[in-house]
Chains A and B, each alone.
Chain A
């Protein structure tokens, strides 16, 4: 699969990673190479095969509805880039 600059820009936007114009071509080339290799999967006929999401057969673990966490906000926010009065701050979002 050949990936071009426009596609890289689109994927990078979805993934919220800034890619400088100078690097776009390189990423496009590498991704194309990787995806072409991955397409080897198409050599295998998988019609009717159920996808395997979990390797081990098990049932959903559940917990009882109890409050078990006491939140130590100070510790949890110690490494936050910008906090004020307990709020995490980001540049103003317009809705």
Chain B
């Protein structure tokens, strides 16, 4: 008796606009309650919605990235239901004619397997406000600052077959929307929220099982855990002769379980109808071409290019292409340094370590790619020994100047002169007769001791490769 898991994800992407989808109030996070809820957002008598042009541009951008159909005409519909965080008693959304339909998102799994997940549709809608349940005895507080924030709801086909695939899809979509500049992806602040529709069926069956919807999963980890719990719950239920109820559930992270949502009783009858206050959204080929011209290179295209053109391995390529700002930095660095592998190593190593220590994001990195590129070039051309490079980088980070300036100021030029090195080595050999004897008698490990002595004597500036060669020559074979 084996079971197959079937998952579809609905992701609410909060679009990064300055103002709301239908009003001119601000969308900034964290304001005092109801200080960003204007008359339109409050649904006061007599108010009317006016569409924010930018949200259409953002929707087109996502549609292009997903290779989807962008509707030349799409319609806003009212979704009618009563809830205190929904001021008008209806949500302006899209129903029969969404702006984007039939797209696809390629995902890659840990074992390298690739899969194309179909995206059914993406539609525009307004977000609801927020409820605060524990602040006032016997009451719930309503904050409508978030009401009217633009959302793009992206719905996938039930093509996902495991929690792993679901997480990969969510991660990929997360990366994409940030890449496109349409969403800041801040899950703690609720900019990117996921609902999972989960069902199971007998392996080999073509029929979909009854699904349960788990709402508002705002981390990859919670998505994974919620799905795992839910799958097990459903299998247990079915194996013991029960039936899965189509319902909405919430994931409780503390208990690692999903539970039924009490407040959403009965199947809702949303009574959708086209919103008479809004005219259909018309998207022209010219608008689409304009967005296409403004599209950044997509993350998977970049990943591919890093493997093909720069010779990076798939994992490194993925890691660097994840974030558009990082990828931009990497490419500039690779060009400046003339060495993509070195650039990758530096970025993943010293640069990220320094950024993390400073609690900074890459756009604020005090070392420009061109400057770091020069440092890398200096190591390659022998001016600076590799072991000194980290010190120079730290100095550059502190604003002491360019790589060349720091090298000069601190006198860190690598000693490459054979004559000078030979003299140094002779000095070390002369100072360490017993070690020389032991080494020549067969104690190979002592080679490191001699290297260490030479480096110490040269204050770390000796060219390690040349030291190696010369030492071998002078000490003789063992």
Contact = CB atoms under 8 A, between A and B. Distances in A.
Interface of A: 14, 16, 53-54, 58-69, 71, 73, 76-77, 82, 84-95
A94 B262 contact: yes
B11 interface: no
Contacts of A63: 24, 50-53
For chain B, give the interface size range.
Answer: 35 or more
B100 interface: no
B19 A65 contact: yes
B395 interface: no
Contact of B131 (A53, A68, A71, A93): A93
B38 A69 contact: yes
B133 A93 contact: yes
A60 B51 contact: yes
Nearest to B271: A14
Contacts of B51: 60-63
Given A62-B56, A63-B52, A95-B261, 11 more contacts: A60-B279, A64-B53, A69-B23, A69-B25, A71-B37, A73-B37, A86-B143, A90-B84, A91-B138, A92-B139, A93-B140
B84 A88 contact: yes
Nearest to B250: A95
B134 to A, nearest CB: 9
Contact of A67 (B19, B33, B278): B19
Nearest to A66: B19
Nearest to B138: A92
Contact of A90 (B44, B142, B279, B282): B142
28 contacts: A53-B276, A54-B279, A58-B279, A60-B51, A61-B279, A65-B17, A65-B19, A66-B24, A67-B19, A69-B38, A73-B35, A73-B37, A76-B34, A76-B37, A84-B141, A85-B33, A86-B33, A86-B35, A87-B34, A87-B132, A87-B136, A87-B142, A88-B142, A89-B141, A90-B142, A92-B133, A92-B139, A95-B263
Contacts of A88: 34, 84, 141-142, 144
A86 B144 CA distance: 10
A10 B349 CA distance: 64
Given A63-B52, A92-B133, A87 B276 contact: no
A87 B33 contact: yes
B135 interface: yes
B223 interface: no
Contacts of B262: 94-95
Contacts of A54: 276, 279
A69 B274 CA distance: 27
Contacts of B138: 91-92
A87 B130 CA distance: 10
Interface string B70-89: 00000100000010100000
Contacts of B67: none
Given A88-B84, A89-B139, A93-B131, A71 B25 contact: yes
B139 A90 contact: yes
Given A62-B52, A77-B34, A92-B133, A67 B263 contact: no
Contacts of A86: 32-35, 143
A70 to B, nearest CB: 9
Interface in B243-272: 250, 261-263, 269, 271
